[in-house]
Structure 1
Amino acid sequence: MTEEEQKYELIKKVEKCYEIICKKWMGIIIHTLMTEPKRFSEIHVAIPDLSKRMLNERMKELEDCGLVLRHVITDRPVRTEYSLTRKGNELGSSLRMVERWAEKWM
């Protein structure tokens, strides 16, 4: 692969990353899951302006991207927890730099 082809491939990957994290609510959902696994209702409480329908849609997208893992706990009552995958944690760590920037400049 030529250097130009490598640059183009990198640009495509960066563009795909921005398509994911720039969707409304994606970054804040990732931020919310950085500390520990959470149930759907806990995520919803943490982001009150986010509708349940949109949260459900975004969680499915994050799962499809391999950033979030959905874990069904079969104890009574049955519940579902969401956690970041290794890939999601690495992205979350990168987004912490944006958080620091926002705290300083916004």
Structure 2
Amino acid sequence: MEIVGRRWSSGILLAMAMGAERFTEIQHRVDGLSGRMLSVRLRELEEGGLVLRIVAPTTPVSITYRLSERGMDLLRSLQPIAHYARRWDPSVEEQRGAAASGSR
């Protein structure tokens, strides 16, 4: 839980769950995440058994990242929290209010 609670970790895991596999893909999907911090967090997530680092022996070397079984299981258990966050996010509430007032 300590790794997941660190800043950027859940965003990285979510980006990977949505299909991002390459370093730059993950970085682009998590707003504000620097390359250095992504590198640090990916190492921590890999050491924690949540992420797999796959090195393909091509020229140049191709590195991809995937959620491990443990990582996928963690994301399934975090879905209720993500649902809660979406439900009570102030920006989502504002969008709902604007949509409701526009439909009257």
TM-score bracket, normalised by the shorter chain, equals: 0.7 to 0.9
Structure 2 length-normalised TM: 0.79
Contact in 1 for aligned 2:50/2:71 (Cα 8 Å): yes
Give the Cα–Cα distance (whole angstroms) in 1 for the partners of residues 46 and 19 of structure 2: 16
For the pair 1:83 / 2:66, whether they are aligned, the reply is yes
Task: Give the corresponding residue for 1:100.
Answer: 83
- The alpha carbon displacement at 1:37 in A equals 5.3
1:51–1:37 distance in 2 versus 1, CA, 3 Å = closer
Structure 2: gaps spanning 5 or more residues: 90-104
SS of the aligned residue for 1:44 comes to helix
Contact in 2 for aligned 1:27/1:95 (Cα 8 Å): no
For the pair 1:38 / 2:53, whether they are aligned, the reply is no
Which portions of structure 1, spanning 4 or more consecutive aligned residues, are displaced by more than 4 angstroms? none
Aligned length, in residue pairs = 89
Which of the pair has the greater relative contact order for Cα pairs under 8 Å at 6+ separation? 1
Amino acid at match of 1:39: R
1:27-60 deviation per Cα after TM superposition (whole angstroms, max 9, x unaligned):
1111111133510011011113001000000000
Moved more, 44-53 or 64-73: 44-53
Structure 1: gaps spanning 5 or more residues: 1-16
Structure 1 length-normalised TM: 0.77
Identity of aligned residues (%): 37
